[in-house]
Amino acid sequence: MLFDIFDPKAAPRPIGIDLGTSNSLVACVRDGRAACLLDCDGAALLPSVVHYGPHGRVVVGGDAARLQGEHPEDTVTSVKRFMGRGADDPETRRLSSLRFATPSTPEEARVVRFCVADRVVSPVEVSAEILRTLAARARDELNGVGGVVITVPAYFDDAQRQATKDAARLAGLEVLRLLNEPTAAALAYGLEKKQSGTFAVYDLGGGTFDVTVLRLDDGVFHVLATGGDSARGGDDFDRALAEARVLPALGVADPGPDVRRLALDLARQAKHALTDHAEVEVALPRDGAPALVVTRAELDGLVRPIIERTGAACRRALRDAELSPTELTGVILVGGATRVPAVRAYVRELFGTEPLCDLDPDQVVALGAAAQAELLAGDGAMDDVLLLDVLPLSLGIETMGGVVDKILPRNTTVPAEARSTFTTYADRQTGFELHVVQGERELAADCRSLARFTLRGIPPMPAGMARLEVTFSVDADGLLHVSARELTTGLVQRVEVKPTYGLDDDAVEQMLLAALDHGEDDLAARRLVEERVEGARVAQATRQALAADAALLLPGEQATIDAAMAALVAAIDGDDAGRIHLACEDLQRATHAFAGRRMDAAIAAAISGRQLGDVERSVEGAKGVEAHLAAERS
């Protein structure tokens, strides 16, 4: 008899988890090498399927997949596609034949929930069951589990990332980091092959697609650009084949959820078989029905439009990295869907090189996660590795007129922090309303809203006197934290941005393409808005000055100012930014002498009856305040 001998005082081992759409894996580093942990049957892959039975019974993995045929409405598959999505999200209804719980309040509508067996569950709870099962496998193998690195698609937004962290916490796991899947794959590949160079990682899984361009150089993994689609993957191949061939062969006029689920299962089996065969026969569950023959050429034709949609993201990532396909050292294939011959052929055609696929595309992400977990645990085995990831989309604040001030541009290396200073627009303004947005367009209305919050309690001051410093901080998991501080009072407001919905099917791609397509129009619109805001500010300040100090006007000066004011108001009502700018300058010239007299009068009133020493001390104090504010702004 053999005994497993271990040190009971040894620290729990860190692990890496690939929480996949179709399958999930857990891995760890032992003896300096990452390896996937196997179940009692010797399998590394755990099907990402959860079945809910009566009386609280939960089944995960292969057994759940086998129960799916008998109890399709109580079995959840591809739950990753629902992470961070709301009940009203159009993609939610398209992706599943499950029964959805009807939300009774707007708060409940923020998260989709499934009606299964005798309960209602959310995607976070379903994912937690998968993570709990993987953690149990690791504990059985390692006799204890420390922190965990969980991989996510690079284009998961804040809501989807936060949902993944919540699922891990619900499963009782300490999350060391959320790691982008393509980066994890490159980490595993770079450590395994000891290569340096510039690589593209083409990651097509069951439900998501990511592409990342990164440079490997002497232990430094620097992501240059990233792109993708958080709702596109191998599951779409199954749907295309099921709808085009399997459902017609089943001969059901109005197929319900059970029949559709059966068609998807048969299509998936055919897809897998066509990886190694030119044609396959699919046995249909009808008495006397002939087998359905499907050829690889048919599958290729059906999935080609889906595959081609990944090309735009790849070309954009290369453009962002300022590289051509010929400058790449290689292209790494990741994800089970890259086993489809049509995918490999398209990648070869797109990049002009034979893709690298000698590491198992199903396991490579989990191996990279394990390597990163070992690094973060600080055990010293991999302390010569540095991993630098990037933001997929720009983050900014809406300013006056609906213009976006981008504080953290996309492809900024994370973790990152940046700040920008704003001021008040109106006199006696006692609060700032902050609108955090994500996207590449110049106007907030064209970007995605992430959060709104208000900083209150600012003492009433003239317009432009208050100073608001807004700080954006993105952690290593890609989650955004925002803080706002009014510099003269020290008031602080902080918020962790948790947007309600995940980006739907085409949101990220459309946001970037729209930014390119409308670039010149957006800049023109931004300039028009900014000139209107500035013109309105100058006009309002002039009206207030005239009302307060009309006695200081010289003969004929009122008529000149009124004419310049009327011209500015007319220009603001128009659509010519240049005309507004010139009219604003004309009004400022017309009021220049009047403004000087107002300043002289204000100074004279301020020093009237005061000693020279008191005035000098006041001036020095004002200089000190201004120096402090300047230092803060720098």
- One-character DSSP codes across 596-633: HHHHHHHHHHHHTT--HHHHHHHHHHHHHHHHHHHHHH
What is the per-residue pLDDT across 24-54, written as a single tens digit (0 to 9) for each?
999 999 888 889 999 988 899 999 999 998 8
Q: How wide is the angle at C-alpha 179 spanned by C-alphas 175 and 181, nearest 5°?
A: 135
CA–CA dist 561, 263 (Å, integer): 77
H or E element in which residue 15 lies: strand 13-18
Say yes or no: do domains 13-232+306-388 and 516-633 share a fold.
Answer: no
Token couple for 489: 């009072």
What is the Cα–Cα distance from 211 to 533, expressed in whole angstroms? 40
Q: For 230, list phi and psi in degrees, rounded to 5.
A: -80, 5
Task: Considering the candidates 74, 80, 446, 522, report the single residue annotated as catalytic.
Answer: 80
Sequence-separated (6 or more) residues with CB below 8 Å from residue 572: 532, 535, 536, 539, 580, 583
Q: What is the CATH number of domain 234-305?
A: 3.90.640.10
Q: What pLDDT does residue 138 have?
A: 93
- Catalytic, 18? Answer yes
* Distance of alpha carbon 536 from alpha carbon 539, whole angstroms: 5
Residues comprising the chain, all counted = 634
Q: Which CATH architecture has domain 13-232+306-388?
A: 2-Layer Sandwich (3.30)
- List of E strands, 205-250: 209-217, 220-229
Instruction: Fill in the amino acid letter for 81.
Output: R
Provide the pairing of β-strand 197-204 with 330-334: parallel
- For the question of residue 517 being annotated catalytic, the response is no
Residues 6 or more apart whose Cβ sits within 8 Å of residue 208: 21, 80, 81, 153, 155, 156, 181, 228, 229, 230, 231, 232, 233
What pLDDT, on a 0 to 100 scale, did the predictor assign at position 1?
Answer: 39
Bridge partners, 100 (sequence order) = 114
Instruction: Name which of 180, 141, 176, 172 is nearest 378 in CA terms.
Output: 176
Enumerate residues 6+ apart whose C-beta is below 8 A from 579: 571
Domain-wise residue ranges, the chain: 13-232+306-388, 234-305, 395-504, 516-633
Sign of the CA dihedral 587, 589, 593, 595? positive
By the 8 A CB rule, do 147 and 373 touch? yes
Question: Rounded to whole angstroms, how far apart are CA atoms 376 and 370?
Answer: 10
State pTM to two decimals: 0.61
139: tokens are 């504990």
Q: Distance between CA 254 and CA 353 in Å, rounded?
A: 45
Which residues of the chain carry a pLDDT beneath 50? 1-6, 380-381, 498-509, 511-512, 622-634
Intra-chain end-to-end CA distance of the chain, in Å: 70
Sheet of strand 431-438: strand arrangement: 404-408, 395-398, 431-438, 448-456
Closest CA to 444 of 432, 436, 452: 436
461 neighbors 540 (Cβ within 8 angstroms): no
Active site residue 632: no
pLDDT score, position 220: 72
Residues above pLDDT 70, as percent of the chain: 81
Task: Identify whether 181 is a catalytic site residue.
Answer: yes
Strand partners, 26: 17
Residue 549 is inside which H or E element, if any? helix 519-549
Task: Give the active site residue among 166, 203, 210, 477.
Answer: 203
> Is the domain covering 395-504 a CATH 2.60.34.10 domain?
yes
C-alpha separations of 22 from 50, 124, 324 in Å: 11, 16, 33
Q: 39, 89, 158, 181: which is the annotated catalytic residue?
A: 181
Of the candidates 222, 206, 96, 218, the one whose C-alpha atom is nearest the C-alpha of residue 153 is: 206
* Whole-number pLDDT of residue 60: 93
* CATH code of the domain made up of 516-633: 1.20.1270.10
